[in-house]
C-alpha cells in the first residue's frame, strides 16, 4: 500500500473543545466534515485517548472553530501537541462561550460551530461522532487554514494521535528535532535549558538529526 497516497487528501484544521466536571479541554483536529445540510450535521473523528474526547463523551456536546492561515504555530502547538490533562490550554487566550457553556477562541478563527452528539461509532483508535449543529457563526473573511498549507507553508507536523499520522516524515532536516512535535532547531549544539517553542517540552525530548 502506498501510504503517501493519503497525503493527497484535503483537510482543514479545527480546534475542538468540550467541557465536563473536570473542566474544559480542547485539541486540534483535521477531521471535521459536514455530512448533511438539512438539518446541518457534522462528523468528527477524534482519538479515544484525548482528554477532549472524554469531555465530549461526558457532556454530549462540543464546539469547533475553523483556524485561519495566520493562526500562530504557538497556538497550534498548545492545542495540538500538549494535553488538557496537564495544561489549561485556554489560559491567556481571548475566549467566549457558546450556548452550551463551551469555550471557543475568538482570534484567528474563520468560523465557529456548536454541536450536539447524535451518535457515535467505534473506529478503533478513534471515535466518529455524528453531531447536529446547533449554532454556526462566521467570524472573519480570512482564508481558512488547509492541512497542506499547515505542512507546506507553516512547516507544521502531525502528532501521533491524529487520524492522518504517519511515522518518519521526510527526515531531511539537520540539527535537533523535538520528538514530541517535530520542531527542528537548526543548531550544532542544543542548549541544555532549551525549551521547544511549539510544545514547550525541554531539551531531554530532543534528538540529534
Ligand atoms: Fe516540541
Distance (angstroms) between ligand 1 centre and the Cα of 166 equals 17
Distance (angstroms) between ligand 1 centre and the Cα of 75 equals 12
What is the Cα–Cα distance from 36 to 43, expressed in whole angstroms?
A: 9
| E strands, the chain, in order | 14-20, 23-29, 32-37, 40-47, 61-67, 95-97, 103-105, 109-122, 126-138, 176-178, 184-185, 206-208
pLDDT at 173: 67
Distance (angstroms) between ligand 1 centre and the Cα of 183 equals 5
pLDDT at 170: 54
All cell numbers assigned to 184: 527542528
Distance (angstroms) between ligand 1 centre and the Cα of 128 equals 28
Distance (angstroms) between ligand 1 centre and the Cα of 179 equals 7
Distance (angstroms) between ligand 1 centre and the Cα of 126 equals 23
Distance (angstroms) between ligand 1 centre and the Cα of 155 equals 13
Distance (angstroms) between ligand 1 centre and the Cα of 181 equals 4
Q: Is 54 exposed, middle or buried (0-12, 13-18, 19+ CB in 10 A)?
A: middle
Beta strand 126-138 pairing with 40-47: antiparallel
Distance (angstroms) between ligand 1 centre and the Cα of 138 equals 32
Cβ atoms 27, 46 nearer than 8 A: yes
Of residues 69, 28, 54, 22, the one with CA closest to residue 129:
54
Distance (angstroms) between ligand 1 centre and the Cα of 196 equals 5
Distance (angstroms) between ligand 1 centre and the Cα of 77 equals 8
How many Å is the Cα radius of gyration of the chain? Answer: 17
- Per-residue pLDDT tens, the chain, 209 aa: give them: 998 898 889 999 999 999 999 999 999 999 999 999 999 999 999 999 999 999 999 999 999 999 999 998 889 988 998 889 988 999 999 999 999 999 999 999 999 999 999 999 999 999 999 999 999 999 999 999 999 888 887 777 788 888 888 876 555 668 998 887 878 888 899 999 999 888 888 999 899 98
Using a cut of 0.85, tell me whether the model's pTM lies above it.
yes
Amino acid at each position: 500500500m502506498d501510504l503517501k497516497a493519503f497525503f493527497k487528501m484535503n483537510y482543514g484544521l479545527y480546534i475542538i473543545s468540550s467541557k465536563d466536571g473536570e473542566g474544559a479541554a480542547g485539541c486540534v483536529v483535521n477531521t471535521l466534515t459536514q455530512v448533511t445540510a438539512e438539518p446541518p450535521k457534522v462528523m468528527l473523528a477524534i482519538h479515544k485517548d484525548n482528554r477532549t474526547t472524554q469531555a465530549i463523551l461526558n457532556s454530549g456536546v462540543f464546539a469547533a472553530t475553523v483556524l485561519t492561515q495566520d493562526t500562530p504555530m504557538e497556538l497550534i502547538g498548545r492545542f495540538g501537541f500538549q494535553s488538557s490533562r496537564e495544561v489549561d490550554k485556554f489560559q491567556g487566550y481571548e475566549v467566549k462561550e457558546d450556548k452550551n457553556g463551551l469555550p471557543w477562541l475568538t482570534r484567528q478563527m474563520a468560523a465557529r460551530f456548536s454541536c450536539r452528539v447524535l451518535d457515535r461509532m467505534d473506529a478503533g483508535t478513534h471515535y466518529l461522532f455524528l453531531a447536529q449543529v446547533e449554532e454556526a457563526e462566521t467570524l472573519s473573511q480570512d482564508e481558512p487554514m488547509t492541512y497542506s498549507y499547515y505542512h507546506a507553508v507553516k512547516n507544521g507536523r502531525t502528532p501521533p494521535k491524529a487520524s492522518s499520522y504517519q511515522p518518519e516524515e521526510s527526515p531531511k532536516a539537520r540539527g535537533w528535532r523535538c520528538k514530541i512535535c517535530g520542531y527542528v532547531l537548526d543548531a550544532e549544539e542544543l542548549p541544555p535549558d532549551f525549551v521547544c517553542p511549539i510544545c514547550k517540552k525541554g531539551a531531554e525530548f530532543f534528538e540529534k538529526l
